[in-house]
Chains A and B, each alone.
Chain A
Amino acid sequence: KAGVTQTPRYLIKTRGQQVTLSCSPISGHRSVSWYQQTPGQGLQFLFEYFSETQRNKGNFPGRFSGRQFSNSRSEMNVSTLELGDSALYLCASSPTGDNQPQHFGDGTRLSIL
């Protein structure tokens, strides 16, 4: 079974631009979560989607948004990019039902110039 797939793997943007990252979960997984990983702040939860609905949201500004499609694929968008948005963005998927762990993708490395 294929793992969590994130595209693109690397992205370079400039301040003020916007960016869209994509995540395809493991087949059959309906919950998709997004995390930001930086050396200073570690792994921080952004949001979680299930059945096209945002179920949980972390403490990030409104510039960070996401959505989920009917096939469980998810996208996250960051608008008006700032230098501090440079990070590894990780997506994790989980099956429905309780007691099922999250499995991570390889992430998208976003660099802001």
Chain B
Amino acid sequence: GENVEQHPSTLSVQEGDSAVIKCTYSDSASNYFPWYKQELGKRPQLIIDIRSNVGEKKDQRIAVTLNKTAKHFSLHITETQPEDSAVYFCAASIDSWGKLQFGAGTQVVVTP
């Protein structure tokens, strides 16, 4: 089955700097890759997603890149702010509505 590895497990950045989180997946059939942000005690919230027919997608300060050949995808957050502090999860799936295989999560801490 699908296996998703996520790195790093923790990431500390200064406010205004960029943050990058990387994920690799094993199943070449996966073609949907969402990213969720989970603040302490709250639900995971979708922040961006990408499908295999797209190499890059951007939404304001957040961008995701996908390399299907290498089976890895990355989340980029620019101009980080304290409210970006949270746990970020990557996931991979064959279908957007089906089983999401999650990475272990990255704790991001943005210090003022």
Contacts and interface: CB of A to CB of B under 8 A. Distances in A.
Contacts of B8: none
Interface string B31-61: 0101010000011111001010000000000
B3 interface: no
Nearest to B34: A101
B99 A104 contact: no
Q: Which of B43, B49, B105 has the most CB of A within 10 A?
A: B43
Contacts of A70: none
A56 interface: yes
B73 interface: no
B24 to A, nearest CB: 16
B97 A48 contact: yes
A106 B46 contact: no
A100 B105 contact: no
The 3 closest A-B pairs by CB, nearest first: A43-B102, A94-B97, A31-B97
